[in-house]
Chains A and B, each alone.
Chain A
Amino acid sequence: MDRAWIPQIDRRKCTACGDCIERCPTGALGMVAGKAAVIRPDACTYSAICEAVCPVGAIELPYLIRWDDSESDPQDGS
């Protein structure tokens, strides 16, 4: 699937309060043309803090649900 796995910011909802930029632990977010934007996508660690702090629900993180084949041993309770 060809897509960027970065926070999706709805520019129409964004009020430019800057909370997400301030709280992002890796500095992946910044202000572009008066709205929050992912300015360093490689730095994003998907902490989801931006999504949680956005007061207007303008930020969403898309997830892919997948089966984990590497350690799905039902007998292993660890």
Chain B
Amino acid sequence: MCMASADPGFSLADRLGHLPYFRALSPARVDALAHHAACRHFAAQETILVQGEHHTGLWVIESGQVKVFRLSADGREHIVHLLGSGESFNDIPALDGGPAAAHAVALTPVIAWMLPPDALIDALRADPDLAVAVIEILTGRMRELVQQIEDLALCSVTARLARYLLKQSDSRAPNSPAITRATLAAHLATTPETVSRALRTLEQIDAIRFDRHEIAILRPDLLHAVAMD
């Protein structure tokens, strides 16, 4: 376990300060929190968390891509989140001390920081604004999960794909993770072949365009209409 970032330009305090969790904290408080964090490097495909096991701490990604997923009894994978630089995972166990709710695997070489739960809980006790920010984030996650359940139960794959793409366009994240058809399929609970067909459907109506390795979102209004189907 290393204590310093590989990137001399990287500031954990800066990165933590930009996370929704810690925006309410003063720079001095964020800096104090950052001193409790420990850095770890993971190779591509290396396991970070195992579902059901106790891994305490809030993880913040410095660089690389992390897949957070659950496995069904027959081994099928459902991707809950694809995360990139600056994003966090293992939020719930970091707060309640329970087991990891999902597996986490590095998709690429990953550098990540782990913030121990004690430091997090102490910061929550000391700062009501931070506590309110955390409640807002957790309720937002709950809404997202309810939406996911509705999507899986009621929407076609094309509609689910359109929603996923809209979410990407909403965030306009400059470092959004790369995604494969197989990953999309695992996220949308379908097969890569069905994802290919759905992508072709969206391309045919000019909602998206393939530009070599890029899927360009041309018409979010059309995606929105498909997502409502």
A residues whose Cβ falls under 8 Å from a Cβ of B: 1, 3, 5, 8, 45-46, 51-52, 57, 60-68, 71-72, 74, 78
Beta-carbon nearest neighbor of A63 in chain B: B215
Q: Which residues in chain B, 189-225, are within 8 Å of chain A measured between CB atoms? A: 192, 196, 206, 209-210, 212-221
Docked complex Cα distance between A63 and B161 (Å): 14
State in angstroms the CA–CA spacing of A1 and B175 once bound together. 7
Residue of A at shortest CB range from B45?
A10
Choose among B180, B209, B215 the residue that contacts A60 (Cβ–Cβ < 8 A). B180
Which listed residue (B192, B213, B218, B220) contacts A63, Cβ 8 A? B213
Count of B interface residues, CB-CB < 8 Å: 28
**Chain B positions within 8 Å of A63 at CB level:** 178-180, 213-215
User: Once the chains bind, are A5 and B218 in contact (CB under 8 Å)?
Assistant: no
- Give the Cβ gap from B193 to chain A, nearest Cβ, in Å: 9
In the complex the two chains form, is A64's CB within 8 Å of B213's CB? yes
Given contacts A1-B175, A46-B212, contact A68 B180 (CB under 8 A): no
**Most-contacted residue by chain B among A61, A65, A66, A68 (CB, 10 A):** A65
Given contacts A65-B165, A72-B219, A72-B220, whether A60 and B214 have CB atoms under 8 Å apart is no
